[in-house]
């Protein structure tokens, strides 16, 4: 399948590399491809991943049958606006970003929080997209290689479109997520819950001294 | 030890009964003991637990060497103010409440959220207390009987006073929490993280159809 991964940071690159390794045609979207390639870190990564394209947001979005939002959560709406509405029509957007606001230092705040979420904001702003929030509750190595953390642990799905969630479920399975580890929380409104895990995630990172951990929902009864 | 459990709801009663079963002297604190006993549900429970006292907040707080805050999170400061500052001096307060605001229906919002927490608010308002936030991330049956959920799962500690956290750690162990399941997140500021689990907890309750679950932090390396 053709994927557009929006965002050139470590999260976007990690997901793009994993998609490409599974045989998908991947283009990374950025505001200014020339400026991105001027970053030594990106240029080096690009050299190691020659099959992955780099393009401006509109061209990347046009390429992708499915889009992945790996931009900073505070600029995601801007990036999608640049991508051009015509290239979003009917497509699944996998939103793995978090609306972290570092303007007041570390740990960051969330904005929006509690009465709204980035997932909902994107779905509301771009009703032509079918937004599925997932993977935003762990580090990006675990996203694409869940076996990195031994034992059972969980990944969540939030979205209003059942077919879109089914497609993302299948993609997660191809990343190595066992069926029982994928928890469908319901509509996109439930993204509030998973985005609000981030404050605990950040404090666990500090308490544990690393990010190789994930949340697991341990349950006494089989889930319905 | 002498405990005061502030709050007459199911959470307070469940914790009070568990403390009494472990041999502690427990008094439940309420605003108006007569009104509490007029509630058929409470009167019935009281009859089944004759060793547990019921008293107004100040008398209960005077009795307790350690206090448990099981009031509604939105009225906790009011309840502690009624309890009388003189009866709080130097005591450990185990804060198991969440600042859930149901004024706009279900699911509730959190207030405070993200840039403050109930745990911090209580510690700031009553500096003579040594506040430890814990147990607020699960249903009350699991709080006092972790084996109710099979397998490994986690409970968090947040607080500024190391001795107070050690005492609460030992109390959790007496409830049945294995050493490795108790995660010390750091200072009381980290209560922001655990209180912000509630929005996901509420949505998991709906998705799973029950509340017999708990969060587990699955980790790839031994925690430091």
Tell me how far apart the alpha carbons of residues B56 and A187 are, in angstroms, rounded to a whole number. Answer: 44
Q: Can you give the length of chain A in residues?
A: 224
Q: CB contacts < 8 Å between A and B, how many? A: 140
For chain A, domain boundaries? 2-208
Tell me how far apart the alpha carbons of residues A62 and B87 are, in angstroms, rounded to a whole number. Answer: 67
pLDDT digits (tens, 9 = 90+) for B151-182: 999 999 999 999 999 999 999 999 999 999 99
Residue A224: the pLDDT is 46
Here the contacts of B79-85 (C-beta below 8 Å, separation 24 or greater) are B79/B6, B79/B7, B79/B29, B79/B31, B80/B6, B80/B122, B80/B125, B80/B126, B80/B129, B81/B125, B82/B31, B82/B56, B82/B57, B82/B58, B83/B6, B83/B29, B83/B57, B83/B58, B84/B57, B84/B58, B85/B126, B85/B128
Q: A128 by DSSP, 3-state: which? A: coil
Residue B204: the pLDDT is 98
Mutate to test the interface with A, among B204, B211, B221 (most CBs of A within 10 A): B204
Partner B contacted by A90 (CB < 8 A): no
Chain A positions in Cβ-Cβ contact with residue B218 (cut-off 8 Å): 149-153, 213-216
Mutate to test the interface with A, among B136, B208, B222 (most CBs of A within 10 A): B208
Residue B222: the pLDDT is 61
Residue A53: the pLDDT is 98
Q: Which tokens belong to A67?
A: 């889009």
Partner B contacted by A112 (CB < 8 A): no
CB atoms closer than 10 angstroms to residue A202: 18
Query: Which one, of A114, A10, A169, A197, lies nearest residue B217 by Cα?
Result: A197
CB atoms closer than 10 angstroms to residue B12: 22
Closest partner residue to B200 (CB to CB) among A113, A153, A194 is: A194
Classified by CATH at the fold level, domain A2-208 comes out as: Rossmann fold (3.40.50)
Cα four-point dihedral sign B181, B185, B190, B191: positive
DSSP string, A142-169: HHH-GGGS-S---EEEEES-HHHHHHHH
Task: Give A188's DSSP letter.
Answer: G
Q: What percent of chain B has pLDDT over 90?
A: 97
Task: Give B149's DSSP letter.
Answer: S
Task: Give B153's DSSP letter.
Answer: -
Residue A109: the pLDDT is 97
> Which residues touch B38 (CB under 8 Å, ≥6 apart)?
none
**Cross-chain residue pair A200–B212, CB shorter than 8 Å:** no
Each residue's pLDDT, cut to its tens digit, for chain A (224 residues) gives 999 999 999 999 999 999 999 999 999 999 999 999 999 999 999 999 999 999 999 999 999 999 999 999 999 999 999 998 899 999 999 999 999 999 999 999 999 999 999 999 999 999 999 999 999 999 999 999 999 999 999 999 999 999 999 999 999 999 999 999 999 999 999 999 999 999 999 999 999 999 999 999 999 976 44
Q: Which tokens belong to B51?
A: 């060793």
> By the 8 A CB rule, do A30 and A5 touch?
no
**Cross-chain residue pair B197–A202, CB shorter than 8 Å:** no
Closest partner residue to A199 (CB to CB) among B193, B217, B218 is: B193
Q: What is the ipTM of this complex?
A: 0.95
Q: Which residues pair with A217 in a beta bridge?
A: B215
What's the gap in Å between the CA of B137 and the closest CA on chain A?
A: 11
Per-chain mean pLDDT for chain B = 97
Q: CA-CA distances (angstroms) from residue A63 to A8, B70, B161, B168?
A: 16, 55, 56, 56
Residue B69: the pLDDT is 98
Task: Give A71's DSSP letter.
Answer: S
Phi/psi for B53 (5° steps) reads -80, 165
What's the gap in Å between the CA of B114 and the closest CA on chain A?
A: 6
Partner A contacted by B62 (CB < 8 A): no
Task: Give B99's DSSP letter.
Answer: -
Partner A contacted by B103 (CB < 8 A): no
**Cross-chain residue pair A212–B206, CB shorter than 8 Å:** no
Tell me how far apart the alpha carbons of residues A88 and B142 are, in angstroms, rounded to a whole number. Answer: 45
pLDDT digits (tens, 9 = 90+) for B59-101: 999 999 999 999 999 999 999 999 988 999 999 999 999 999 9
Tell me how far apart the alpha carbons of residues A165 and A186 are, in angstroms, rounded to a whole number. Answer: 10
């Amino acid at each position: 399948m053709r994927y557009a991964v929006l965002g050139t940071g470590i999260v976007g690159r990690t997901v793009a590399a994993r998609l490409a390794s599974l045989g998908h045609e991947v283009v990374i979207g950025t505001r200014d491809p020339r400026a991105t390639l001027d970053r030594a870190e990106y240029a080096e990564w690009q050299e190691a991943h020659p099959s992955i394209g780099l393009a401006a947001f509109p061209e990347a979005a046009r390429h992708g049958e499915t889009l992945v939002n790996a931009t900073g959560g505070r600029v995601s709406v801007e990036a999608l606006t640049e991508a051009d509405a015509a290239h979003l029509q009917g497509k699944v957007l996998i939103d793995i970003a978090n609306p972290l606001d570092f303007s007041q230092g570390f740990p960051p705040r969330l904005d929006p929080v509690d009465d709204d979420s980035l997932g909902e904001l994107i779905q509301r702003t771009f009703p032509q997209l079918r937004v599925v929030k997932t993977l935003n509750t762990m580090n990006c190595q675990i996203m694409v290689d869940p076996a990195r953390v031994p034992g059972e642990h969980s990944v969540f799905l939030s979205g209003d479109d059942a077919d879109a969630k089914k497609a993302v479920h299948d993609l997660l399975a191809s990343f190595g997520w066992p069926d029982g580890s994928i928890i469908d929380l319901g509509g996109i409104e439930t993204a509030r819950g998973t985005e609000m895990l981030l404050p605990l995630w950040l404090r666990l990172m500090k308490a544990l001294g690393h990010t190789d951990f994930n949340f697991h929902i341990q349950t006494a009864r089989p889930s319905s």
